[in-house]
A and B are shown apart, each in its own frame.
Chain A
Amino acid sequence: MNTKLLSTFQWITLILLRMIIGWHFLYEGLAKLLKGNWSAYGFLMESKWIFADLFRWMATQPTVLQIINVVNIWGLILIGLGLMLGIFTRLAAVGGILIIALYYVCNPPLVGLFYSIPAEGNYIFINKNVVEMAALLVLLAIPTQRVAGLDLLLAKLLQQSSRKKN
């Protein structure tokens, strides 16, 4: 790809952004995994807004809850690894946006909604989840993985193997 579209400094900042978000996802997943007994139950039961009934129903179904817990933990870990290493980066970015969107609609900071779990900041419509989703959108739009990441090597390997076949 044409890497001259952006300056070296601009590429570095975007790659840094990807690493930071990857780090965040990876540790969120790993910490829950290591804790052993982590469950999304409390978060789902706290749900407000129009999907609240659905999320609460999920929390009360042991099998569904178990699936949510496993998918959430491993989703976070794999997305984190993908972003950090720059492998299947676009897939990781899309996955990240979707998973955060679910967190958002479960507990959105909308006008008139209050939560018993204290937040570490004050939000109206836009919270840190939205900021992280927006950052992932940027990473989806600008392929930093082609400049730094295993996707670069993967692309080259695929090109080499297809050239050999031809």
Chain B
Amino acid sequence: MSEEKGNADSKKRIDRRDFLQGLAGIPVLGAFALAALKQESYRRTRKAQLASAAVPQGDAAEVNVALLGVGAQGDVLLNSMLKIPGLRFKAVCDVWTEYNLRRAANLLKKYGHEVNTYEDYREMLDKEKGLDAVVIATPDFWHAEHTVACLQAGLHVYCEKEMSNTLEGARRMVQAARDTGKLLQIGHQRRSNPRYIFTHDVLLRELNILGRVVTAGGQWNRSAAPDLGWPKKYEMPVDRLKKYGFDSMHQFCNWRWYKNLGGGPIVDLGSHQIDIFSWFLGANPKSVMASGGTDYYDKATHEWYDTVMAIYEYDTPRGTVRAHYKTQTTNGSLGYFEQFMGDQGTLVLSESSQIGALYREKTQAGPWDEWVRKGYLTEPKILESKAEDLTQGALDVRETISPDEHKIALQFFDPYHKPHLENYFNAVRGLEKLNCPAEIGYESAVAVLKVNEAVEAKQTLYFKPEEFLAQGAA
């Protein structure tokens, strides 16, 4: 500390004390620099981790591809595939030659792919000899026949889910894949989604961030919508419709609602999420009970249930887990997501990148700061009671402290199906293993198709462990 001195000259000279006082800020600046450098290094590591997780690897050896079924879902897959390097489209097949087939061929032409077009898949398999892989997006009841024929023709197959509308069909698909040694990827695309893989591999398996999971849940709410229509001038002739298993254009366009053709919303929507239950819990279900019905739409054109609620029970390596699932097609509020609740935290995850958070149970779980520093989670948002909430009623002593909300730091902005298709094509190139091979798709089909049975039976149905093994395909 500088002090007053009697001598005026000495006051104006810089002495050792002045020097030390003058440089007092330097050590603080040094400490600041150390902290800032450390923080910056964490930030860069985190950025690099996220970037590497989001960018698929692999060389782009050209794969010759055919498309079988280019309706609404086939179009979604095609638009994803057009963003994947190293694909050469050779042929497209669709029974709706007037519309689907022409639209897909025109789109591919714009991207420089001259393709041969076919109405009948058998003609395509006969004539196209240079194919490596086929992507099948036909109605569910055609999957088994198309997949088996393509595998037997020596092609690797990507088949949309649901694998088949019958377990018998699904078993034939597994058998054909085993017999031919060709790859069969089933289109449960969340299995390749970087956020789902990161959540499963790192957050759940490596960190056990949720602790002992006891309950799970899922939902897909979709707004009411009119039946799908078609341009009258492109209508298919009745004899062709009959040839391919449809009674009318209405049934062709809305096949998902018809028994024997599709499986209804629980299969179209629920199968994605019920598949996640099995994957994340590491177990297939032990039982299912369900309630459902065509409560809103016309039963004549909506044979499958527009509203379904199901409750599964799982025997996991860590104990029983009960999971509920709901799908409804009359109100889209609250969207679609899966949730898992353990004694340490809650996970809410969705294919939609808007939804994806973890909630730490403050009374049970230790701090998650380390995972935030490592870039796995974002900084917590404190969920506290707002003043306006308190006006609704006094806090109850039975309420526990609000959990912290962390977002999953890994973001994913590509088309949802792209990573799963990339995984398939990289497997065709011998660079990766399939994320959803036939056996996994079969297990998922067993769990999902049983819901419709449980609705009919109006009682709890039990799974035998051997049901999941594609017996008869062995």
**A residues touching B (Cβ–Cβ < 8 Å)?**
2-4, 8, 11, 15, 19, 22-23, 26-27, 30-31, 34, 81, 84-86, 118, 120, 122, 146-150, 152-153, 156-157, 159-160, 163
Known: A85-B29, A147-B1. A152 touches B36 (CB 8 A): no
Chain A contacts for B21, CB-based, 8 A: 147-149, 152
Q: Is the CB of A4 within 8 A of B3?
A: yes
Chain A positions within 8 Å of B13 at CB level: 156, 160
Partner of A120, one of B32, B39, B43, B382: B382
In Å, the complex CA distance between A26 and B23 comes to: 18
In the complex, chain B residues whose CB is within 8 Å of the CB of A23: 28, 32
Q: For B381, what are the chain A residues with a Cβ–Cβ distance below 8 Å? A: 118
The 5 tightest CB contacts between A and B, nearest first, are: A153-B22, A148-B24, A85-B25, A156-B14, A152-B22
List B residues 4-45 near A (Cβ within 8 Å): 4, 12-14, 18-19, 21-26, 28-29, 32, 36, 39-40, 43
| Structural contact, A156 and B36, CB atoms closer than 8 A | no
Query: Chain B: interface secondary structure?
Result: helix
Interface size of B by CB at 8 A reads 25
Closest-by-CB residue of B relative to A4 is B4
Q: Say yes or no: is B2 at the interface (Cβ < 8 Å to chain A).
A: yes
B12 touches A3 (CB 8 A): no
- A/B interface sample: 11 pairs, CB < 8 A: A3-B3, A23-B28, A34-B40, A81-B29, A84-B25, A118-B381, A146-B2, A148-B24, A148-B25, A150-B23, A150-B25
A85/B26 in contact, CB under 8 A: yes
Q: How far apart sit A22 and B31, CA to CA, in the bound complex (Å)?
A: 13
Residue of B nearest to A152 (CB): B22
- Known contacts A3-B2, A86-B25, A152 near B12 by CB under 8 Å: no
Q: Which of B23, B24, B382 contacts A15 (CB 8 A)?
A: B24
The answer to whether B18 and A30 have CB atoms under 8 Å apart is no
Chain B residues near A152 (CB, 8 Å)?
2, 18, 21-22
Q: How far is the CB of A36 from chain B (nearest CB, A)?
A: 10
- Complex alpha-carbon distance, A157 and B18, angstroms: 11
What residues on A are CB-neighbors of B43 within 8 Å?
34
List residues of chain A with CB within 8 A of the CB of B22.
86, 148-150, 152-153
**B388 CB to nearest A CB, Å:** 11
Separation in Å of the A80 CB from the closest CB of chain B?
9
- 1/0 per residue, CB under 8 A from A, across B373-411: the answer is 000000001100001000000000000000000000000
* Interface pair A160/B12, CB less than 8 Å apart: yes
Closest chain A CB from B109 CB (angstroms): 38
Shortest C-beta distance, B38 to chain A (Å), equals 12
A2–B3 alpha-carbon span in the complex (Å): 7
Whether A147 pairs with B2 at a CB distance below 8 angstroms is yes
With both chains docked as a complex, state the minimum distance between the C-beta of A87 and any C-beta of chain B, in angstroms.
8
Q: Which residue in chain B gives the minimum CB-CB distance to A15?
A: B24
Q: Report the bound CA distance from A147 to B25 in whole Å.
A: 11
B1 touches A30 (CB 8 A): no
A149 contacts B25, C-beta separation under 8 Å:
yes
Q: Is the CB of A156 within 8 A of B24?
A: no
Shortest Cβ gap from A82 to chain B (Å): 10
With A30-B36, A152-B21: A19-B1 Cβ-Cβ less than 8 Å = no
**A84: B residues at CB distance < 8 A:** 25, 28-29, 32
Most buried by B among A81, A84, A160: A84
CA distance A26 to B31 in the complex (A): 13
Give every chain A residue within 8 A of B28 (Cβ-Cβ): 19, 22-23, 84
For A83, the closest partner residue in chain B by CB is B25
Chain B residues positioned under 8 Å from A27 (CB to CB): 32, 36
Would you give the shortest CB distance from B40 to chain A, in whole angstroms?
6
